[in-house]
């Protein structure tokens, strides 16, 4: 008997609890934890996840953009929220909802300093992003001292944290590069702390950094994908539980004969008698076309069913010739049997992309 009757994304809060406590167990008691809930909680539901983490005792949240923080505030989240990539056009909304900006460039620092002065803000918290090798956003280490000095001298701003982002903390082959990033961060931190009496906390590690570089936990760690059940390493993935389970059902079963074709552009031509099932999920729901034509699989009654033909906008077709199943049976796209990481590898991508692509029209079901 199927537990679902349509395509749903289950959010297992028990798994979230497990992952949170597992990651917390790797930290010193006085080390804070920041939970990353950007991209709608990595494709799940940001407000549900954020409110649950707030109850669990997480210290900080992070989002990518201001509008993501607005949704959390409107949902009742009261934790401090770091905005990792703010834009000047949103400063007014950001401050109205007490969101804290990452300051990553001289242009942004000058713009927010002017805004803070015009609005007569008092010691508004900002976070200084330092680029040590990822080369996306951030001050070069030699620029960071000047930026921090400007913040310290401003009556309108206060330095809440200084942080960097590791580029390859999951990759053992890049350990020397990661240690180089940490060394660059360690070199600049004393210079920042010497500038004034404002205390700030330092942070550098993402999920893989938490697990692989315990010496670099500093005052706070940031976890995103780990909270959702993935650690970028098979041996560590086994310690975590997937929070999100994408499920659907069999809409119809066809018995096809040699020469019959399946889907658009006759994406698969049947070579021998086949039992085929049609499922109500497609690339509009985040299932990439790269999984079509036998590349990807789903799980039906514990067995793998290959996707045949092209992935359609709203449907896929799978080969169930060797599976005892019927219309209405439950299908796992990814979850506890086939993880998002397993399925992503088949499409030559990563779990992050598969998770965050789950479409908004898919119903979210919270399992408490």
| pLDDT tens digits in sequence order for the chain, 368 residues long | 568 999 999 999 999 999 999 999 999 999 999 999 999 999 999 999 999 999 999 999 999 999 999 999 999 999 999 999 999 999 999 999 999 999 999 999 999 999 999 999 999 999 999 999 999 999 999 999 999 999 999 999 999 999 999 999 999 999 999 999 999 999 999 999 999 766 899 999 999 999 999 999 999 999 999 999 999 888 889 999 999 999 999 999 999 999 999 999 999 999 999 999 999 999 999 999 999 999 999 999 999 999 999 999 999 999 999 999 999 999 999 999 999 999 999 999 999 999 999 999 999 999 98
Active site residue 38: yes
pLDDT at 256: 98
Is-catalytic flag, 228?
no
Q: Write down the pLDDT at residue 197.
A: 66
Number of domains the chain contains: 2
Q: Is 49 within the bounds of a domain?
A: yes
Strands 244-249, 330-334: parallel, antiparallel or unpaired by DSSP? antiparallel
- Which one of the listed residues 20, 38, 124, 247 is annotated catalytic? 38
| Main-chain phi, psi angles of 185, to 5 degrees | -65, -45
Within-domain flag for 305: yes
Residues 210 and 270 in one domain: no
Q: Cβ(190)–Cβ(151) under 8 Å? A: no
- Both 260 and 228 in a single domain? no
Active-site position among 153, 199, 264, 345:
264
- pLDDT value at residue 196: 76
Query: How high is the pLDDT of residue 21?
Result: 98
Residues 57 and 138 in one domain: yes
Q: Residue 226, exposed/middle/buried by CB under 10 A (0-12, 13-18, 19+)?
A: buried
**CA proximity to 20, closest of 221, 212, 234, 162:** 221
Task: Tell me, yes or no, whether 180 and 63 share the same domain.
Answer: yes
> Is 46 a member of any domain?
yes
Strand, helix or coil for residue 295: coil
- Asked whether residue 7 is assigned to any structural domain, the reply reads no
From 243, 286, 239, select the one nearest 14 (Cα to Cα).
243
**78 and 142 in one domain?**
yes
363 within a domain of the structure (yes/no): yes
CA angle 149, 79, 154 (to 5 degrees): 20
With beta carbons less than 8 A apart as the criterion, state whether 128 and 161 touch: yes
> Which of residues 232, 267, 291 is at a domain's end?
232
In-domain check, residue 343: yes
What does the alpha-carbon distance between residue 5 and residue 188 come to, in Å, rounded to a whole number? 56
Q: What CATH code is carried by the domain that includes residue 118?
A: 3.20.20.10
Please tell me the predicted confidence (pLDDT) of residue 3.
Answer: 85
DSSP string, 115-140: HHHHTT-SSEEEEEEB-SSS-SS-B-
Q: Do both 213 and 266 map to the same domain?
A: no
Q: Are residues 152 and 293 in the same domain?
A: no
User: Of the candidates 187, 202, 232, which is a domain's last residue?
Assistant: 232
Task: Name the domain boundary from 232, 260, 288.
Answer: 232
If asked whether residues 77 and 215 sit together in one domain, one would say yes
pLDDT at residue 2, as a whole number: 67
Provide the domain limits for residue 56. Answer: 13-232
Q: Are residues 341 and 194 in the same domain?
A: no
Shared-domain flag, residues 149 and 297 = no
The CATH number given to whatever domain includes residue 302 is: 2.40.37.10
Q: Please indicate, yes or no, if residue 83 is contained in any of the structural domains.
A: yes
> Does a structural domain hold residue 2?
no
């Amino acid at each position: 008997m199927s537990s679902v009757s349509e395509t749903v994304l289950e959010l297992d809060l028990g798994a979230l609890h497990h992952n949170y406590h597992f990651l917390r167990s790797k930290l010193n008691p006085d080390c804070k934890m920041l939970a990353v809930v950007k991209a709608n909680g990595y494709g799940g539901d940001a407000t549900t996840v954020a409110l649950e983490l707030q109850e669990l005792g997480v210290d900080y949240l992070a989002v990518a953009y201001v509008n993501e923080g607005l949704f959390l505030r409107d949902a009742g989240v009261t934790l401090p929220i770091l905005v990792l990539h703010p834009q000047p056009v949103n400063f007014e909304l950001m401050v109205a909802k007490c969101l804290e900006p990452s300051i990553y460039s001289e242009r942004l620092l000058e713009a927010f300093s002017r805004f803070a002065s015009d609005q007569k803000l008092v010691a508004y918290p900002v976070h200084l992003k330092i680029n040590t090798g990822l080369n996306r956003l951030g001050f070069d280490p030699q620029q960071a001292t000047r930026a921090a000095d400007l913040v310290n001298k401003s009556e309108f701003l206060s330095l809440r944290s200084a942080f960097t982002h590791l580029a390859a903390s999951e990759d053992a082959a890049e350990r020397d590069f990661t240690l180089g990033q940490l060394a660059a961060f360690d070199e600049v931190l004393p210079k920042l702390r010497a500038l004034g009496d404002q205390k700030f906390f330092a942070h550098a590690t993402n999920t893989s950094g938490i697990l692989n570089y315990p010496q670099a936990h500093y005052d706070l760690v940031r976890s995103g994908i780990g909270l959702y059940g993935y650690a970028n390493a098979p041996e560590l993935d086994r310690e975590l539980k997937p929070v999100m389970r994408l499920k659907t059902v069999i809409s119809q079963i066809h018995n096809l004969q040699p020469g019959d074709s399946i889907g658009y552009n006759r994406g698969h031509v049947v070579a021998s008698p086949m039992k085929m099932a049609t499922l109500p999920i497609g690339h509009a729901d985040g299932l990439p076309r790269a999984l079509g034509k036998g590349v990807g699989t789903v799980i039906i009654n514990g067995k793998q069913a290959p996707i045949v033909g092209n992935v359609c906008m709203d449907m896929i077709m799978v080969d169930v010739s060797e599976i005892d199943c019927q219309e209405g049976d439950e299908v796992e796209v990814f979850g506890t049997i086939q993880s998002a990481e397993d399925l992503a590898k088949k499409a030559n991508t990563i779990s992050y992309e598969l998770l965050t692509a789950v479409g908004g029209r898919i119903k979210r079901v919270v399992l408490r």
